[in-house]
Structure 1
């Protein structure tokens, strides 16, 4: 049985991608930006919890690369996937 581990959380300005197979559970996401990443909520990623550029900058600190994103409002469409 094939299980897809990558989930997409779509927002107006950003799409956040999470790959569970890459995650090392360091907690950088939830500790550093709990208004966006909250494991007690469903969905656990709230793309409206902060400005898209702040979310993107925080995702760039993910040590495993399990979190990636695509900015939807930029003229040059930034992909960090």
Structure 2
């Protein structure tokens, strides 16, 4: 399925993953293994850390394959990032 987004719902943040955009840099899993763990299913656990910490880490994703939205509707995503 082309352009399929995978959503991972947490209590305070929803993480979206777009596999077709991913360049497999490993920034997510190497930098925050408690949240992004390829040996677990689901591999994203949006309740394993604070929403703010997860958002800051997702902002480091070089491909933009990971995005987030706070459950309260707030988005901290930097403009142009």
TM-score interval for Structure 1 and Structure 2 normalised by the shorter chain = 0.7 to 0.9
For structure 2, the residue ranges without an aligned partner over 5 or more in a row are none
For structure 1, the residue ranges without an aligned partner over 5 or more in a row are none
Matched residue, 2:75: 78
Aligned-residue CA RMSD in angstroms? 1.5
Q: Distance in 1 between matches of 2:48 and 2:10?
A: 10
Normalized against structure 1, the TM-score is what? 0.87
Normalized against structure 2, the TM-score is what? 0.87
Q: Which structure carries more strand by proportion?
A: 1
Aligned residues: 77
Structure 1 ranges of 4+ moved more than 4 A: none
